[in-house]
C-alpha cells in the first residue's frame, strides 16, 4: 500500500485548514458583508484558533482576495476544458459564456463589492482585468475557425473584436440579472449568439 509521507500528510492537513478558513469566510461575507466580518468570527466558524488563521492568511483582506482569485481561476479552468473539447466553435462559445455567467452569479453574494473599502475594490478590479485578458485570448482561439477567410490582420482584428463583444454581452447579462432575478438569460444569450456569431461558418 502506498504510504503518505509525513511531509505530504502535513501539506494535505494544511490545505484542509486553509479551505476551512476560506469556506467559513465565504459564508460570513455572504451573511454579514465584508466590513462586519472579523477574523475572530472566521476562526470560530472554521472551528480553529485565531492564531491558526494568521498562519495561513495575513489579514481578512488577503482571505477575500484569495476567494476572488479562486473564483476567477475556476472560470478560467472551466474555459480551458471547454476549449479542449471536440465541439464546433459556436457550441464552445455558448458553453464558455454560460459557465462564466452561472459561476459569477452563484458567487456574487459572497464576493459583493458593495461593502468593500475603496482600495480593495481597486485590487479586485485589477485582478479581474488580468483574468479578462486570459478569457479574451481563450475566446479568440475558439473563434478563429469562424474567420477562415480574409487577410490575417483583418481576421485577427475581427476575431478579437467579437471576443470583446461577447465578453461584454456576458457582463450585460449579469447586470440585468442584478436588476431582475427572473430574467431568462439563457434564452437571451442564445438569441445574442445567433446574431453575433458568423453564420456562414457555423458547424
Distance, in Å, from the CA atom of 57 to the CA atom of 37, rounded to the nearest integer, reads 15
Q: Which of 124, 101, 102, 103 is nearest to 113 (CA)?
A: 124
Domain coordinates in residue numbering, the chain: 1-57, 60-196
Distance, in Å, from the CA atom of 125 to the CA atom of 141, rounded to the nearest integer, reads 24
Give residue 109's pLDDT band: very low, low, confident or very high (50, 70, 90). low
Mind listing the pLDDT tens digit for each residue in 30-74? 888 889 999 999 999 999 999 999 999 999 999 999 999 999 999
- How many residues belong to the chain? 203
Average pLDDT over residues 7-17: 66
Spell out the residues 6+ positions from residue 121 whose beta carbon is closer than 8 angstroms to its own: 113
For the structural domain made of 60-196, what CATH number should be given? 1.10.357.10
Which pTM does this prediction carry? 0.80
pLDDT score for 128: 85
- Locate the DSSP E strands across the chain: none
Per CATH, 1-57 and 60-196 having the same topology is answered no
For the structural domain made of 1-57, what CATH number should be given? 1.10.10.60
pLDDT at 115 over 90: no
Amino acid at each position: 500500500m502506498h504510504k503518505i509521507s509525513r511531509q505530504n500528510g502535513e501539506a494535505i492537513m494544511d490545505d484542509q485548514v486553509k479551505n476551512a478558513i476560506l469556506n467559513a469566510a465565504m459564508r460570513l461575507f455572504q451573511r454579514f458583508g465584508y466590513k462586519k466580518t472579523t477574523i475572530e468570527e472566521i476562526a470560530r466558524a472554521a472551528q480553529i484558533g485565531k492564531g491558526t488563521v494568521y498562519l495561513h492568511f495575513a489579514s481578512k483582506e488577503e482571505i477575500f482576495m484569495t476567494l476572488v482569485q479562486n473564483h476567477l481561476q475556476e472560470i478560467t479552468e472551466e474555459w480551458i476544458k471547454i476549449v479542449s473539447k471536440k465541439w464546433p466553435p459556436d457550441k464552445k462559445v455558448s458553453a464558455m459564456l454560460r459557465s462564466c455567467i452561472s459561476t459569477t452569479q452563484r458567487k456574487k453574494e459572497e464576493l459583493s463589492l458593495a461593502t468593500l473599502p475603496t482600495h480593495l475594490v481597486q485590487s479586485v478590479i485589477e485582478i479581474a482585468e488580468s483574468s479578462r485578458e486570459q478569457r479574451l485570448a481563450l475566446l479568440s482561439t475558439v473563434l478563429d475557425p469562424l474567420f477562415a477567410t480574409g487577410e490575417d490582420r483583418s481576421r485577427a482584428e475581427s476575431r478579437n473584436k467579437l471576443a470583446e463583444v461577447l465578453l461584454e454581452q456576458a457582463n450585460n447579462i449579469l447586470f440585468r440579472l442584478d436588476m431582475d432575478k427572473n430574467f431568462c438569460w439563457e434564452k437571451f444569450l442564445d438569441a445574442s449568439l445567433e446574431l453575433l456569431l458568423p453564420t456562414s461558418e457555423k458547424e
